[in-house]
Amino acid sequence: YLATYTQYIPVGDHSVLKPKIRWIGSSRTAGLDAGNRFFSIAEGRSTSNLFDRGTQTSLGKLGIRGYASNGSLAARNVGIASLEYHFPLWNIFRGPGTLPAFIEQAHGFVFADGNYIQRVAGGERFLPSVGGGLSLDSHFFGYVPVKFNVEYQNGLKKSEFGDDSIFFSIESNGLF
């Protein structure tokens, strides 16, 4: 099972508070082990990929920000509670000469995550993380929205492979 809930709460004129809850779990109670496909996965980001922010969500796994991926962690239930605060830095709204590019806005964000993992092998883990970043919203060729991001993540439990990392990403939500 996979459940996600996100709420956007306006704070001031152009800032937003974004609480988000993600949960993935397995209804199977017997025979859960690493060789069986009926379990949930908590996965940190890839340390070899500078563009992997560790925020992926799919039916088979949840990404955990701030923790290196030293293999996947088999779990019966994984819950992630996030709180993000997004705020504008600079309204640009111009392009470079006659080039087909238009830069809209630069904004920042900070986050705090609480990651709860109920392990298949028994026991529970709580993996907190914090961080922040900068984003630049733009459009190319008049129709293609592109967001450039730089993000800092800090996994607070160093004994559980928490680390400090900076990531770069480029996002696009479609052509038209």
Q: Closest Cα to residue 105, out of 122, 87, 127, 81?
A: 87
Look at residue 158 and give its three-state secondary structure.
Answer: helix
Residue 33, amino acid:
D
Cα–Cα distance for residue pair 95/48, rounded to 1 Å:
34
Give the pLDDT confidence score for residue 6 in this predicted structure: 92
Give the pLDDT confidence score for residue 110 in this predicted structure: 96
Give the pLDDT confidence score for residue 121 in this predicted structure: 66
**pLDDT per 10-residue tile (average), the chain, 176 residues:** 87 92 70 44 49 49 71 72 94 79 90 84 82 91 85 87 84 66
Q: What is the DSSP letter of 57?
A: B
